[in-house]
Structure 1
Amino acid sequence: MDNIALQKVNIRNLDPNLENVLIVGIIIAKQRPKKFLDTKVSAETYRAVWNFTLRDSVQDYINVTYWSSSEVVFQTNDKFNSGDVVEVINPKILVRKINDYGEQFRPMVTSPFYLSLTEQSAIIKHYGDVTHYLRLLRFPTKPIAGFLPLRDIHNSGAAIKGTYVDILAIVRGLGPNRTVTTKNNENLQVRTIELFDHTSPSLKVDIWEPDVISRSNSWKPRYTALFLTDLCIHWSNFERSFMARVTGRTVVTENPEGTNTIQEVMSIKQVQDKINYLQGNDNMSGTKQFTALIFAFVSSLDLDGLSKTLLIKCGHCKMPMKGSNCENAECPTVFEGMVVESDMNFDIRIMLTDHTGTLTRCRFGSQAAEQALNCTPREFSNMSDDDKCKLKWKYLMERCAVRIAVLFIGKQLPIITVLCISLADTFEVARRLPVY
């Protein structure tokens, strides 16, 4: 292979007629290799297949399948993990068949092709500048606004069982690694993590993929945000609640920057007009939602007054607390005097105003509030009113660039969530602010 003249090609420019290509990209997901008996030869010979997903730009990512002897495949799998920048050499470029059985077990990708690696191919570490590629780990592979709130998972009933959903949530806790013996007498590792968002205190997720388990070692409870695509929802009789499972289709994006990709600028009147249109259109299928970037003044942000700013729940049963006492009479913290640290999340309402109108009672999402205020809910709770006042005036009556998500749930009024807020650049406002 050293004597072959290779041509470097980006994922976007792939073509099945190309040969001897070299593709540089970062692994954003990988699956555990699968071993099987080769029935094409008389001797007892095992082969294996390994799937991973490669990305070389924000818009372009492709699935890769590596076929070879079980020894070679497992050795190669052990060398590379998500986050590694690699060179894929001399792959076959094949057209994806959307209805192909195997497609349902691999992540959603943007390329119409997939790469097949054989004994004539190779994958090696890339030793050039990797700065551009490492940035790609922070960008989701699906629109981030399409996530399903955890509350909807718990409240959907039997209809959600077996479906695949996207979730944007914060790590609440990390369980220990456990070894489980399968029916085939294979020992597999599994780890259960717990997530929360602004709608629900808990969803447990089982992780069976070794690569994701390894990545989870660096996640920090109450700090790491995750965007997880294509989690499979199932009912757990043991937990008596719905749970989720990481599958071969799942891509995990840590602390995603998806909100920064929201670039459709709208005035507040345009946002309200779109809300009115979606509310009145009962024939639309699927979830009604949209995102927008608005340049608006923060006209109300009561951090140091009487408005509610924190959602405080019992650290044991997750029910609301009144003062320092849990309101659940059956909670052990009440009748056993158990001492458990309470859960705190930001629960702030904010008003946004521009020359066309005002959006009232927008939710300042907990993650966005932590980033904007540069403090945790517990740190905020210990601040003096003077310190809270200083935080408030950082944004109050200032023109800001605000990225919002508008989500309709059933017949209820839409939920308007602030995903990201920052002081606006004057020149950008002058250039992009809608007239009406």
Structure 2
Amino acid sequence: MAYSRQAKDFVAISDLHPNTTHPRVAGVIIGKTDVKSFPDRKSIGFDRFTFGFTIKDSPDYFINVSLWGNDGYINGLSNSFRIGDCVIIENPLVATKDPEKEDRFCPSTPSFYRLLVSEAHSQLSIGSDIEMMNRLLPLLHLPVKDSRDFYSLGDIVANGQSLDRTIINILAAVRSIAEPKFFTTADGRKGQRLEVKLFDDSVTSFPLICWDREAIQLVQTLIPRETVLFISDARIGFDSFRNCMTATVNSKTIITVNPDTKEASLLFSYAKEVSESGVLHEDDRPGDVPVDSISDVYTVSQLKFKAQENPEVFCGITYSFISKLDLDTSVSKVIRSRCSKCRYQVNEEIQSCSNTACPGGDQPLTVTTGFDLLVDVTDHTGTLQSCSLNGTVAEKTLGCNPEEFVSLTEDERTAMKWKILLERCKVYIKITPSPKSRSGMRGNVLQCSLADPGEVKQNMSALQ
């Protein structure tokens, strides 16, 4: 059935009206909600099922669609298509929407109406005509809000709790996508949660939380550090546990992937440059994780196994030896200077940051100087190579600051090295997935001190 011959049979969303008889509408799905059920008032003991989606057929027009029916009909339809599919809806009811109710719980649309689909009167099918898809699919990359109407992540952080519980638009790049976590509520309902880390030229990591299966399925298809999102109507909240602001996808939210806008193009270029520069890999600040909250004890082999099985950041304690600690090499390999704006390694003599993606590239260079070591952590089960030991954590471990270290003689540095090397230590460590590294993971030492023998015996015997 060629779309070109049928084009006159479709009613444009902009032309829909309650008096339209037997409308036939084609559009691309830009948003979709999970299936929900409610007790059926007409049939006691039975439930009615519903879900909704939003379709777009032109740059400026889109409309919400609601579907109601029994379990088999609704779940069957919901599982048959997803965001990004082109659909044809035949004979829906065109109803005037209640703006106050509709715009509160559904995506805000320019249409005065909404479409109702029922098993008895309507039909819904996937559109596979090439001409139709060529016309509709580019609409996926056009935000449903003004492309200039958004908050940067820096704006959100700067405004802080004054934005708590507000609904705003966000333009950001995807830094990382965690694995979904599944749970069961106290009343037996099953749920899921997935966290995406966003970044832009003002903030290197900002959490976006997804609770709905549809949103989770969408973000799981994205490529970290190569994807820009325009997130319309995200809910902003303050996470008191982590003491930070977060964004949450809700029933109003529409996520536009790689928007075709000037602002998104600039951010995409920045994301590509900053990813290639390695800045994001360097942005592991030990202070982000309080060591008092870490209690799980691992052997080295258990750390490696968990990192392979669970591609998420996690922390633990290992009673191990520091088996490599190059303090008696050149000072430039122990202490490094980094741009305070982007943390890129710099040479202070050049007086400028060489990272082309640095947000402070047009400003005078300011640097932070500190320990920047790679150490090996070893126990009877294996070795974690090239773990980062940086900043104040390194100062506490070594017992001196960079200025004091520079003044030491080579013999004094060697003596310092052997005070720690091959001694049993209590090491708090943060493990981060790193596909580009040979081991597939990176270790970051959060705290390191000589271990108490009694504590070692008690914990190591528990791991046998």
Q: Which residue of 1 aligns with 2:43?
A: 41
Distance 1:333 1:220, change over 3 A: farther
Q: Which runs of 5+ in 1 are unaligned?
A: 1-5, 263-309, 339-436
Write the deviation string for residues 164-188 of structure 1: whole angstroms up to 9, x where unpaired: 1100011011111100223432111
Report the counterpart of residue 107 of structure 1 in structure 2.
107
Residue 148 (structure 2) pairs with residue 126 (structure 1): no
* Aligned 8 A contact 1:26 1:55 in 2: yes
> How far apart, in 1, do the equivalents of 2:40 and 2:203 lie?
48
8 Å Cα contact 2:94-2:115 kept in structure 1 = yes
Give the whole-Å Cα distance in 2 for the aligned partners of 1:124 and 1:316. 48
- What is the letter of the counterpart of residue 257 of structure 2? E
- Indicate whether 1:244 and 2:247 are aligned: yes
Deviates more, 1:101-110 or 1:219-228: 101-110
8 Å CA contact retained: 1:143, 1:258: no
SS, match of residue 145 in structure 1: coil
Tell me what 2:432 maps to: none
Q: Match for 2:90: what amino acid?
A: I
Aligned length: 286
Does structure 2 retain, via aligned residues, the 8 Å contact 1:22–1:88?
yes
Tell me the distance in 1 between the aligned counterparts of 2:370 and 2:164: 29
Q: Which letter maps to 2:283?
A: G
Distance 2:242 2:369 in 1: 22
Determine the structure 1 residue equivalent to 2:23.
Answer: 21
* Correspondence for 1:178 among 178, 181, 188: 181
Instruction: Give the letter for the 2:37 counterpart.
Output: K
Work out which of the residue numbers 209, 227, 235 in structure 1 matches 2:230.
227
The offset of 1:95, in angstroms, is 1.4
| Mean Cα deviation higher: 315-324 or 195-204 | 315-324
Q: Quick one: structure 1 residues 200 and 328, their matched pair in 2 at CA, closer, same or farther if it must change by over 3 Å?
A: farther
* Paired residues of 1:24 and 1:85 also in contact (CA < 8 A): yes
User: 2:86 aligned with 1:85, yes or no?
Assistant: yes
**Contact 1:7/1:20 (CA < 8 Å) preserved in 2?**
no
Residues in 1 aligned to 2:203 and 2:370: alpha-carbon distance in whole angstroms: 17
1:35-434 to structure 2, matched below 5 A, reads 35-42=37-44, 44-99=45-100, 101-119=101-119, 120-129=121-130, 130-259=133-262, 314-317=282-285, 320=341, 321=343, 323=345, 333-336=390-393
SS in 2 for 1:238: coil
User: Structure 1 39/97 Cα, relative in aligned 2: closer, same or farther at 3 Å?
Assistant: closer
Quote the Cα distance in structure 2 between the aligned partners of 1:242 and 1:179.
Answer: 23
Partner of 2:10: 8
Does the CA contact (< 8 Å) of 2:160 and 2:245 recur in 1? Answer: no
Offset of 1:218 from its aligned partner? 2.3
Between structure 1 and structure 2, the one with the greater Rg is 2
Q: Give 2:81's aligned amino acid.
A: F
> Can you list the C-alpha shifts for 1:258-314, whole angstroms capped at 9, x where unaligned?
33999xxxxxxxxxxxxxxxxxxxxxxxxxxxxxxxxxxxxxxxxxxxxxxx89574
Aligned-pair distance for 1:214?
1.3
The SS at the match of 2:181 is: strand
1: distance between equivalents of 2:368 and 2:135?
49
TM superposition shift of 1:315 = 1.6
Change (3 A) 1:112 1:316: same
Q: Which TM-score applies when normalising by structure 1?
A: 0.61
Give me the whole-angstrom Cα distance separating, in 1, the residues matched to 2:208 and 2:112.
31
Alignment-derived partner of residue 400 in structure 2: none
3-state SS, counterpart of residue 156 of structure 2: helix
Distance in 2 between residues matched to 1:154 and 1:323, nearest whole Å: 26
Question: Residues 336 and 32 from structure 1, CA distance in 2 versus in 1: closer, same or farther, beyond 3 angstroms?
Answer: same
Amino acid at match of 1:8: F
- C-alpha distance in 2 between matches for 1:205 and 1:243: 6
Distance 1:157 1:261, change over 3 A: closer
Post-superposition CA distance 1:307-359 (Å, at most 9, x none): xxx89574202964373696589995224559xxxxxxxxxxxxxxxxxxxxx
Q: Within 1, Cα distance between the matches of 2:18 and 2:256?
A: 30
Decide whether the 8 Å contact of 1:93 with 1:114 is kept in 2. Answer: yes
Unaligned runs of 5+ in 2: 1-7, 266-276, 289-339, 347-366, 373-387, 396-464
Residue 206 to residue 94, structure 1, CA distance change in 2 (3 Å): same
| Aligned equivalents of 2:161, 2:196: Cα separation in 1 | 23
In 2, the alpha carbon distance for the partners of 1:234 and 1:328 equals 35
One-letter code aligned to 1:103: D
| CA distance in structure 2 between the aligned counterparts of 1:25 and 1:15, rounded to whole angstroms | 17
Q: How far apart are residue 14 of structure 1 and its match?
A: 0.7
Write the letter of the residue equivalent to 1:253. Answer: T
In the TM superposition, residue 71 of structure 1 has moved relative to its aligned partner by 2.2
